[in-house]
Every structure is written in structure tokens, then in C-alpha cells.
Amino acid sequence: RLKSTAAQLGQGNLAARTKIPPSSNIGSLAAVFDTMANDIEQLLNQQRDLLNAVSHELRTPLTRLDFGLALALSDDLPAASRERLQGLVAHIRELDELVLELLSYSRLQNPAQTPERVEVVLDEFIDSILGSVDDELENPDIVIDVVLDCAVERFTLDPRLTARALQNLLRNAMRYCERRIQVGVKVCPRGCEICVDDDGIGIPVDQRERIFEPFYRLDRSRDRATGGFGLGLAISRRALEAQGGTLTAQASPLGGARFRLWLPS
């Protein structure tokens, strides 16, 4: 029971306790373990609550600043002043985007959140996701292929969480590919596999796990213009894990990176 509880805690079930009676031969050990589990649960809940509170509080002054600068830009201004104000607006909107990403990540950390289960038509689902990121494709020469290898056309998943994960993976591929991105979908009795491949420079083997850590960015993407905030891949993994799935990084047959998304049936 102690071993099982330790495994559950490791998988994110912070409410797991041994419930071993004090009269047991390992009663004192179990009591210390349960106390430790209580402390960990309280600490992580406090951290999550603080992140939520700070993020919500930040949005109010950011909105005021954005509105104030928009009013200032409506006046007749010298070109240099207008350019400086437009730069400030861009920085404020970047901060607002970061706050939204933090809130998204914080919500996905909540073990009480139950994923929605909806049957979707896979080709239509993938098409809708591609359509949602199509406007962000800066290079018109980039080709996105979709390869469906499905004995069935439908699969049950959480459409909101899965779409969020795939959107982040596609945006990542758009940043680093040369000319080609491929989305491959396979369904078998055990589950659904979706792979997002690109023909970019790939990810070093020793960093394929670290890229899923919040705020971690590879050296090649230290520039915010290309590297984002370092939260997209962390959010994608949490969105899959919330559904009992996985997200891993591998080498792609196209020469760049492959992100393998797996959802169980």
C-alpha cells in the first residue's frame, strides 16, 4: 500500500494517502509519509493559488495601460513619439499573452480538472486546427501535409485540450521548419497517435525531455521573436497527460523534430 501510494503521488494524485493503521509494523513510517504528502499537497496548492492570483491581478493594470496607450495613439503625434508608443503597446500585449499562458498552464496543473470526452471526426478535427493557425504562417512556401492512416474515422478525446496541444506543436514547427511540416494520424484499438514532423534542424537528444519544462528554451531560441515564452510545449504535455496520454520528442524522418502525441482509447 505504501508503494502504491508513492506511485500515485508521483503521477500527480496529491490526495493519495497510505491509510495504514498505527498498529502496523510500518505504522510510524506510514504516518511520516502521509504527513509529507499533506505538506507537498498544501505547498503545491498554495503555489498554484498564488500563480492564479498574481496572473489575474496583472491583467487589470495591463488592460488599463493598453487602453491608455490606445487613446494616446488616437491623438496627432510626431512620427517618433507614435513609434515609441506603438513599441510600448507591443510590449504590453506580449506581457498579456504571457499572463494568459501562465493561467492556462496553472489550470492544467489542477488534478481536479476532469477532461471532456467527445467523439470527433478526425480529418475534420485536424482540418479545423490547421485552419486556426493558418494565418500565422509567415512563409507562404511552407507546405503542411496531413497523412491519415485510420481504420476508423472517429475517436473520443477532449477537443479543447487536444486542439491546444496540437496548435502549440504546429506553431513550434512553423518557427523551425525549412519548407515542410507533416501531420500524421494513426488509430489502432489501443489508441490514437498523432505525429507532428518538420524538416528543421531538430532537437539535441540530451534536451528532448528538458524542452517540456516551463520557461525552458533551447539556445537557438533565446530570442523572444522566435522562441516564445517557453511555455507552449509544457502546456501541450500537460494537456495530453490530463487525458491519460503522452507527448514525446524524437528525431523526424524529415530531418528535423518529431513530436509524438499519444491518446489511449
CATH code of the region 1-113: 1.10.287.130
pLDDT of residue 108: 75
DSSP string, the chain: -HHHHHHHHHTT-TT------TTSTTHHHHHHHHHHHHHHHHHHHHHHHHHHHHHHHHHHHHHHHHHHHHHHHTS---HHHHHHHHHHHHHHHHHHHHHHHHHHHHHHT-TTPPPP-EEEEHHHHHHHHHHHHGGG---TT-EEEEEEEESSSEEEE-HHHHHHHHHHHHHHHHHH-SSEEEEEEEEETTEEEEEEEE-S----GGGTTGGGSTT---GGG-SHHHHTTS-HHHHHHHHHHTTT-EEEEEE-TTSSEEEEEEEE-
The pLDDT score that the predictor gives to residue 198 is 94
Give 138's pLDDT tier (boundaries 50, 70, 90): confident
The whole-number pLDDT of residue 90 equals 84
pTM passes above 0.85:
no
Q: Is the pLDDT of residue 154 over 50?
A: yes
What mean pLDDT value characterizes the chain?
A: 86
For position 193, what pLDDT does the model report? 94
Catalytic residue among 1, 56, 179, 224: 56
pLDDT at 227: 52
pLDDT digits (tens, 9 = 90+) for 69-101: 888 888 888 888 888 888 888 888 878 877 877
| Dist. CA 222–CA 146, nearest whole Å | 30
Any idea where the domains of the chain sit in the sequence?
A: 1-113, 118-264
For the chain, give the percent of residues with pLDDT over 90: 41
Query: pLDDT value at position 223?
Result: 42
pLDDT of 56 over the 80 cut: no
Task: Say if residue 7's pLDDT is above 70.
Answer: yes
By C-alpha distance, which of 133, 159, 152, 155 is closest to 144? Answer: 133
Lowest mean pLDDT among 101-105, 114-118, 193-197, 250-254: 101-105
Tens of pLDDT, residue by residue over 215-263, are 887 765 444 445 566 788 988 998 998 898 999 999 999 999 999 999 9
Per CATH, the architecture of 118-264 is what? 2-Layer Sandwich (3.30)
The verdict on whether 56 is a catalytic residue reads yes
